[in-house]
Copies of this chain bind each other. A is one copy, B any other.
Amino acid sequence: MAAQGVKLLGAWASPYSRRVEIALKLKGIDYEFVAQTLSPKSPDVLKYNPVHKKVPILLHNGKPVVESLVVVEYIDETWSSGPSILPADPLGKANARFWAKFIDDKLMPAIINIRRCQGEEQVKAIDVVVELLKVLENELKGKKFFGGDTIGLVDIAANFIALWLPVHQEIMGLQIVTKEKLPVFCAWIDEYLNSSIIKQSLPSKDELSTALLAYHRS
């Protein structure tokens, strides 16, 4: 589909920006990616997201949409091309929104906490994350993706766990997501990272590893 005034202000290594890219690619929407730095903030970031001053920002015909999950729903509701990202029925929608919120409100802070802790505290922080991942894993039982046969909102929200978390754990020498602890989740990661849209939307493991090494050394 030809570009229709769609611009994404994003950051290469941000899993939140990548959520929006996955959604746009799923729908087959051409867009212009405008790379942003964390600091200094560009005048466009301050103009279009004055409340949070962060990316991703989707500009559609000049109008900004922000907050990654809000943007993904906006994309799903705006373009009928490509597969639906949310189910059509209200109960399926509510379920998807619940798990996407679980990832952002519970799982992401718990994952961030791992890097803040050391020693025995870090072991406990990892246990918390594994338990939360088991709760999420339970949603995958008997399904290829959280969205069923196709990638949905929860799969998009979980992109950090599929790619960023394994790379972080490798760099830090930690065991968080392993086949022994989370077999169903690991099968999902394989399936997810090998699907064609995700391959086009996310950096490779090696590229991300190189970028995150610099982050861990900082």
Contacts and interface: CB of A to CB of B under 8 A. Distances in A.
A98 B63 contact: no
Per DSSP, chain A at the interface is helix
A1 interface: no
A27 B8 CA distance: 37
Interface residues of A, number: 21
B67 A98 contact: yes
Nearest to A79: B90
A73 B97 contact: yes
Nearest to A60: B91
A101 B97 CA distance: 13
A117 interface: no
Contacts of A66: 98
A94 interface: yes
Nearest to A139: B51
A1 B196 CA distance: 48
Given A51-B102, A51-B135, A102-B51, A91 B70 contact: no
Most buried by B among A63, A78, A94, A97: A94
Contact of A90 (B74, B101, B135): B74
Copies of this chain, tallied across the complex: 2
A93 B74 contact: yes
B51 A65 contact: no
A67 B90 CA distance: 14
Contact of A74 (B51, B60, B91): B91
A65 B78 contact: no
Nearest to A97: B70
A139 B187 CA distance: 45
B51 A73 contact: no
A138 B65 CA distance: 17
26 contacts: A51-B102, A51-B135, A60-B91, A63-B91, A65-B91, A65-B94, A65-B98, A66-B98, A67-B97, A67-B98, A67-B101, A70-B94, A70-B97, A70-B98, A70-B101, A71-B94, A73-B93, A73-B94, A73-B97, A74-B90, A74-B91, A74-B93, A74-B94, A77-B90, A77-B93, A78-B90
